Amino acid sequence: QQQVKQSPQSLIVQKGGISIINCAYENTAFDYFPWYQQFPGKGPALLIAIRPDVSEKKEGRFTISFNKSAKQFSLHIMDSQPGDSATYFCAAYSGAGSYQLTFGKGTKLSVIP
């Protein structure tokens, strides 16, 4: 399987701070990069996604930054809240034949008051 490397494994941020999670990929055939949020006892749910033709996408407090040449992308959570505490997964998808969605290993985010 193609790999998507995610870091850090865990992250503790104070309320109001910025949470940053990084991912790197290898396969240049990937053409869609989603982030998923998972709460305990639930399946992952799509949070925000980006395609490689843009360098940044923002939705509310969540921003994806994408660096195509470095094959890296990151999730920024501004003004982090305790309700953001969850596990976050980056993923990469190739629609060119393989239809495979490959996930990073996840980052457990804890936002403390």
The verdict on 62 binding another protein (CB under 8 A) reads no
Other C-beta atoms lying within 10 Å of the C-beta of residue 38: 16
CB of 15 vs another protein, minimal distance in Å: 26
The verdict on 46 binding another protein (CB under 8 A) reads yes
Q: Which of 1, 53, 60, 69 binds another protein (CB under 8 A)?
A: 1
Number of chain residues interacting with another protein (CB under 8 A)? 24
Cα–Cα distance between 71 and 63 in angstroms, integer?
Answer: 17
The verdict on 103 binding another protein (CB under 8 A) reads yes
| Residue of 21, 11, 24 lying closest to 92 (CA atoms) | 24
* CA dihedral over 56, 46, 38, 3, signed as positive or negative: negative
Q: Which of 53, 83, 96, 99 binds another protein (CB under 8 A)?
A: 99
Cα–Cα distance between 46 and 90 in angstroms, integer?
Answer: 10
Taking contact as CB under 8 A, which single stretch among the options 21-29, 35-43, 59-67, 69-77 is the one that binds another protein? 35-43
Task: Quote the tokens at residue 101.
Answer: 């969605």
Binding site for another protein (CB under 8 A): 1, 32, 34, 36, 41-46, 49, 89, 91, 93, 95, 98-106
